[in-house]
Chains A and B, each alone.
Chain A
Amino acid sequence: MNETMSTQPGQDDRYLHIQTPDGLDYRLEIANMGARSHAFLIDWHIRLLIATAWLFGMGTALFSLSELESIFDLDDMAWPFIMLWLSTLFIYLFYHIVLEIVMGGRTPGKRMAGVKLVTLQGKTPGAGAIILRNVFRLIDALPGFYAIGLICVGLTRHHVRIGDLASGLVLVYDDAVKQKELQQMTRLAMHSELSNDDQALLIDLLKRWKQLSRDTRIQYARHFLQRIGHDAHIPATEKKHDKTYKQVLEQLLAGESGQ
């Protein structure tokens, strides 16, 4: 751990403030309870799905249908079935530990919720910290439905559960700008007259275009164009006029100002 970086608590509770020894400071936005729960619920569904697929996939591959009838017979279970159950349990219980180590503080659920784990110095957590964090799920999950963990998240400044406190980790929003967006960003910065906020808004809107419903796309695009004072003149009667809005936005992205 690089101890030369220091955190500056108390400046703004929404952010984790970090200063490097080189004098550059930066901040990471701390994920709130909603984002944390969102990520957990996605992960819970994924690991349940994987574990169930493993149980039934391996079950049908290794055993006959008549043998499988006793797979839920807990009182008189054959040891090959016990091994199958234990391997399923292993997948379910070690999902977070393995994936957080492999994916550098992320899991599929965290990735979809746009959050990641970092140390208090803003760095990718090591295996030791991740294991420790997950051991403390034993406490956070008590007495059920992660009640202690959720209360702790609600009461702490950095919105952390006991496992995070123990391991010195924080869940922050993963607002990393991808390398593939560099081309768009530089083009905008060089050619566009849009303000910085509007540039970010434009890229974000086009990035999320496919996820939005047709009406929402049109609504957002219209609001954006009104915001920047762009006169698009797109008649509401035009067929597929969400595509027309997209074309206008892409022209703006290419640096063709239509103001």
Chain B
Amino acid sequence: MKQGGMSKQALREWLNTRKPDWETIENTLNGRAPAPPRALTNCREQLSAYKQVMNDLSLSRRVNGNALITRYLENLFLKLNEDIHKPSQQLFEQLGYLFQVETPLLMRQLKTSLISALLIFCAGIAAGWFMVDRFPDLASLFASAEMINKVHAGELWTDDLLNIMPSSFLSFSIAANNIAVSLTAFALGALYGVGTLYILGLNGLMLGAVFAFTAHYGMADRLFEFVIAHGVVELSVIIIAGAMGLQLGESLIRPGNRNRLQAFQQSCRNTGIIMLVSVPFLLLAGLIEGYISPNDSYSMATRVIIGVVSGLVFWFIMLFGWPRRHSSSSGQP
């Protein structure tokens, strides 16, 4: 009996000859068989195996059609293809490239979104300040009853933070909250940027309103003293997250010469990289907010220096990249 131009006997011969090779290839891919000691030999053997499996698959498709053996060979081919084309595992080089080259380049490309996010946030602050300054009763829209009562009593809700929980836990919970806010501001950009506008505007409104409310009771300087050490990095990351969200919305509204899906995916990739780099800085802001901001032993000058220096370092890394050694190559790993 002939099958696809091949007799049963020929098929048997072919399967008997090739099966041990397929098993060896699969065992090598799964790490069950030892790889050749020399990397170059290993590469040559893998390329040779790849070509053999490709030939086997072509033959099997012609002879066996969509049989199980063909499906098995397709899987083996896919695994080999992936193994051959996978990028090299150079984590530190990749991280270096990300922080030194890719992030500053992307930040410059997304300049317009950054400026827009900053303006929206500042407009929110101004609106919040104006509203509560003119109508102090509106403070209840932005602050809890407990916070308002404390301010009425001449205290700030931040005064006894360290008596409620230890610094380590405070840092952790604040960082977790800020990361959640940043990721939400970013992800809501997929709703044509409307969700990001809401988060940015709301956070700006709250900040302006709370400062106006404390200013009404002559305590704005104390709130500023609490916020300045950690606030520069924290608000910067939130603005960057908002900018990335706006960029996602922009890619959906105005995809340019690509289709909407392509523009959205490219935008997600670029903005995702910036989020990946900037969000960990919220851990630094959380540590400052847990250990330094509520601690009365730090003077105003120290707090300002910490805030300004941490902010400068953050923006330097984001805009110009992590400083490179002259000997290192600037090429992509």
Q: What 10 A-B pairs have minimum CB-CB distances, sorted nearest first? A: A196-B67, A166-B268, A177-B72, A138-B187, A2-B85, A190-B12, A185-B68, A132-B272, A186-B15, A176-B75
Partner of A177, one of B68, B82, B269: B68
Task: Pick out which of these stretches binds chain B: A33-41, A52-60, A78-86, A222-230.
Answer: A78-86
Task: Pick out which of these stretches binds chain A: B108-116, B165-173, B311-319.
Answer: B165-173
Task: Pick out which of these stretches binds chain A: B18-26, B121-129, B132-140, B146-154.
Answer: B18-26
Interfacial residues of chain B within 60-80, with CB under 8 A of chain A in the complex: 64-69, 71-72, 74-75, 77-78
- Which residue of chain B is the closest to A80 with respect to CB atoms? B169
Cβ of A124 under 8 Å from chain B: yes
In the assembled complex, which residues on chain B have CB atoms less than 8 Å from the CB atom of A20?
81
Per-residue 0/1 for B257-275: is the Cβ within 8 Å of any A Cβ (1 yes, 0 no)?
A: 0000100110011001101
Partner of A175, one of B71, B265, B268, B276: B71
In the assembled complex, which residues on chain A have CB atoms less than 8 Å from the CB atom of B16?
190
- Which residue of chain A is the closest to B15 with respect to CB atoms? A186
Question: Known contacts A122-B78, A167-B268, A182-B22: does B190 contact A136 (CB below 8 Å)?
Answer: yes
Q: In the complex the two chains form, what is the Cα distance from A170 to B168 in whole Å? A: 40
Interfacial residues of chain A within 147-179, with CB under 8 A of chain B in the complex: 162, 165-168, 175-177, 179
Task: Enumerate 24 A-B pairs (CB-CB under 8 Å) in ascending A order.
Answer: A20-B81, A24-B54, A79-B165, A79-B166, A82-B165, A128-B276, A132-B272, A136-B187, A139-B188, A165-B261, A165-B264, A166-B265, A166-B272, A168-B269, A175-B71, A177-B68, A177-B75, A179-B23, A181-B72, A185-B67, A186-B69, A190-B12, A190-B16, A199-B67
In the assembled complex, which residues on chain B have CB atoms less than 8 Å from the CB atom of A124?
82
Q: In the complex the two chains form, what is the Cα distance from A136 to B166 in whole Å? A: 33
Q: How many Å from the CB of B332 to the closest CB on chain A?
A: 13
Question: Known contacts A128-B276, A200-B67: does B15 contact A189 (CB below 8 Å)?
Answer: yes
Q: In the complex the two chains form, what is the Cα distance from A199 to B15 in whole Å? A: 16
Per-residue 0/1 for A114-150: is the Cβ within 8 Å of any B Cβ (1 yes, 0 no)?
A: 0000000011100010011001101100000000000
Per-residue 0/1 for B90-131: is the Cβ within 8 Å of any A Cβ (1 yes, 0 no)?
A: 000000000000000000000000000000000000000000
Extra inter-chain contacts (5) besides given A128-B272, A182-B23, A196-B66, CB under 8 Å:
A132-B269, A139-B187, A166-B265, A177-B75, A186-B69
Partner of B183, one of A24, A135, A165, A203: A135
* Residues of B that sit less than 8 Å from A by CB: 1, 8, 11-12, 15-16, 19, 22-23, 26, 30, 54, 57-58, 64-69, 71-72, 74-75, 77-78, 81-82, 85, 165-166, 169, 172-173, 176, 183-184, 186-188, 190-191, 195, 261, 264-265, 268-269, 272-273, 275-276
In the assembled complex, which residues on chain B have CB atoms less than 8 Å from the CB atom of A165?
261, 264-265
B68 touches A196 (CB 8 A): yes
Q: In the complex the two chains form, what is the Cα distance from A182 to B272 in whole Å? A: 42
Cβ of A220 under 8 Å from chain B: no
A132 touches B268 (CB 8 A): yes
A181 touches B78 (CB 8 A): no
A139 touches B77 (CB 8 A): no
Q: How many Å from the CB of A241 to the closest CB on chain B?
A: 28
A-B contact count (CB 8 A): 107
Q: How many Å from the CB of A199 to the closest CB on chain B?
A: 6
In the assembled complex, which residues on chain A have CB atoms less than 8 Å from the CB atom of B187?
135-136, 138-139
A86 touches B176 (CB 8 A): yes
In the assembled complex, which residues on chain A have CB atoms less than 8 Å from the CB atom of B72?
177, 181-182, 185
Q: How many Å from the CB of A27 to the closest CB on chain B?
A: 9
Partner of B58, one of A24, A128, A168, A200: A24
- Which residue of chain A is the closest to B84 with respect to CB atoms? A2
A135 touches B186 (CB 8 A): yes
Q: How many Å from the CB of A191 to the closest CB on chain B?
A: 8
Q: How many Å from the CB of A148 to the closest CB on chain B?
A: 9
Question: Known contacts A24-B57, A185-B68, A199-B67: does B188 contact A138 (CB below 8 Å)?
Answer: yes
Q: How many Å from the CB of B170 to the closest CB on chain A?
A: 9
Q: How many Å from the CB of B213 to the closest CB on chain A?
A: 25
Question: Known contacts A2-B85, A79-B166, A82-B169: does B15 contact A196 (CB below 8 Å)?
Answer: no
Q: How many Å from the CB of A253 to the closest CB on chain B?
A: 12
Cβ of A63 under 8 Å from chain B: no
Cβ of A231 under 8 Å from chain B: no
Per-residue 0/1 for A179-198: is the Cβ within 8 Å of any B Cβ (1 yes, 0 no)?
A: 10110011011100100100
In the assembled complex, which residues on chain B have CB atoms less than 8 Å from the CB atom of A122?
78
B54 touches A22 (CB 8 A): yes
Partner of B184, one of A123, A132, A138, A190: A138
Q: How many Å from the CB of B79 to the closest CB on chain A?
A: 9
Most buried by B among A122, A128, A179: A179
Q: How many Å from the CB of B75 to the closest CB on chain A?
A: 5
Q: In the complex the two chains form, what is the Cα distance from A168 to B266 in whole Å? A: 9
B23 touches A166 (CB 8 A): no
B78 touches A190 (CB 8 A): no
In the assembled complex, which residues on chain B have CB atoms less than 8 Å from the CB atom of A132?
268-269, 272
- Which residue of chain B is the closest to A90 with respect to CB atoms? B176
Q: How many Å from the CB of A176 to the closest CB on chain B?
A: 5
Question: Known contacts A20-B81, A82-B169, A128-B276: does B67 contact A138 (CB below 8 Å)?
Answer: no
